[in-house]
Amino acid sequence: MRGLRDKVAIVAGAAPGNIGGATAIRLAQEGMKVIAADLNPAAAQVVVDEIKSAGGYAVARGFDITDESAYKDLIEFTARELGGLDALFNVAADLSSRTIGRDTDVLSVPLDVWQRTIDVTLTGYMYGIRHALPLLIARRGGSIVNTMSSEVWMGEGQRVAYQTAKSGLIGLNRHTATVGGKHGVRSNIVAPGVTLTGAALKILNEEYRNQILASVRSTRLGAPEDIAAMVAFLFSDDAAYVNGQTILVDGGANLT
């Protein structure tokens, strides 16, 4: 894709087998210099080792997306070590059993689950934008991509905290696109459908996967690489006139 070689990208939530890890690998294949960041630095290092084994450039960093100072340090490290920043992909989420596993409905969701989900998926993304956007504006160009979910359109009867946090990204993204747009900085959302990440494969049995596939206008369910390809496009010069948008990558499960 045009305009990616030697550009610098942060993937905030780069775990192997998942969307962040697949995206870090794809960006490196396109010639970008990648900072793979994750709450678990050992997980990020696995992704980096795969990138390096294929001849790409990547650095692993540990950080907590709910800690603004940690996100600020990550961005400052990137700018200092690699000479700046061109792209930011926010993809981190707490999909642990203690959080999304207890995310029920509005009548019963534990308040600690509600707050934790907002802290990671909405406030954490805002921290990244807050500290990355000035660098991108100073460069008069760049791209931010935030990860939502097609679940927002479904209005499911469970995971109220997750749906609420992901819905909030629409306003954050449109605001960022407006603030950055006249400075050459774009901000978009990628909204995956059911994606067979390493984490999903552990919890989605074959019967459930077949039920979901029946509702998708495609021959298969999504893979992390499908989302990675869209992020690479949104970072590239080929997407230079795409700003403030939410793009579904769900095999046609939702038509908006």
Tell me: the pLDDT tens digits for 32-54? 999 999 999 999 999 999 999 99
Q: Is 71 a catalytic residue?
A: no
Q: Are 235 and 7 in contact (CB under 8 A)?
A: yes
C-alpha span between 24 and 6 (Å, rounded): 14
The tokens of 130 are what? 């807050």
C-alpha span between 116 and 102 (Å, rounded): 11
Among all chains, which residue has been given the structure tokens 């070590």? Answer: 81
Backbone phi, psi, residue 50, to 5°: -65, -40
The predicted structure's pLDDT at residue 214: 87
Beta strands in the chain (DSSP E): 8-12, 33-38, 57-62, 87-90, 142-147, 185-192, 246-249
Average the pLDDT over each of 105-119, 120-134, 197-211 and give the range with the smallest value.
Answer: 197-211
Q: 156 falls in which pLDDT band (50, 70, 90)?
A: confident
The predicted structure's pLDDT at residue 165: 97
| The CATH number, out of the four listed (3.40.50.300, 3.40.50.720, 3.40.50.10860, 3.40.50.10800), of the domain defined by the range 8-249 | 3.40.50.720
Average pLDDT of the chain is 95
pTM over 0.75: yes
> Over 80: is that where the pLDDT of 208 sits?
no
Q: Which residue of the set 71, 125, 127, 162 is catalytic?
A: 162
C-alpha span between 32 and 60 (Å, rounded): 14
Q: 215 falls in which pLDDT band (50, 70, 90)?
A: confident
Size of the chain in residues: 256
